């Protein structure tokens, strides 16, 4: 009986947390993005973005990191979001 009510309350909290995704904040992750020409690895390690593609190393952002950020949205800490649109200097807006 107790187990069942405990599970119900956990599920209710999980639903509430999932409905407010800004409660989740990523610190580190790695994933692959299957691009049109190649598959690239995007990493986010303690707030530092990286991608294995050439474009990232030229501009410090790329379509792959931007796509990941669009998906993860508010779960990326606000000060570490690359943001769109970028200003003319290429500096990421907070
Ligand atoms: Zn890239």
Strand residues in 2-93 grouped as ranges (E): 28-34, 39-45, 48-51
Ligand 1 centroid distance, CA of 81 (Å): 15
Ligand 1 centroid distance, CA of 63 (Å): 6
Report how far residue 14's alpha carbon sits from residue 12's, in angstroms, rounded to the nearest whole number.
5
Q: Which residue has the tokens 């990232």?
A: 56
- Record the tokens describing residue 43, joined without a space: 């990493």
Q: Which residue has the tokens 């999932």?
A: 18
85 CA to centre of own chain: 17
In a domain, 70, yes or no: yes
In a domain, 41, yes or no: yes
Ligand 1 centroid distance, CA of 91 (Å): 17
Band of residue 84 on the pLDDT scale cut at 50, 70, 90: low
Domain that holds residue 69: 22-94
pLDDT of residue 83: 72
In a domain, 90, yes or no: yes
In a domain, 4, yes or no: no
In a domain, 27, yes or no: yes
**Taking residues 7-26, what's their average pLDDT?**
95
Look at the chain and count its residues. 94
In a domain, 64, yes or no: yes
Query: What does the pLDDT look like over 37-78, one tens digit per residue?
Result: 999 999 999 889 999 999 999 988 999 999 999 899 899 988
User: How many domains does the chain fold into?
Assistant: 1
Q: Is the pTM of this model over 0.85?
A: no
Ligand 1 centroid distance, CA of 42 (Å): 7
């Amino acid at each position: 009986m107790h187990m069942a009510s405990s599970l119900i309350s956990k599920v209710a909290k999980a639903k509430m947390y999932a409905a407010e995704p800004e409660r989740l904040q990523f610190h580190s992750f790695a994933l692959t993005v299957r691009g049109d020409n190649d598959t690239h690895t995007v990493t986010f390690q303690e707030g530092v973005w990286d991608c294995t593609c050439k474009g990232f190393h030229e501009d410090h952002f790329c379509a792959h990191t931007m796509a990941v950020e669009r998906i993860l949205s508010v779960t990326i800490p606000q000060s570490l979001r690359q943001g769109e649109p970028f200003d003319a200097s290429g500096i990421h807006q907070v």
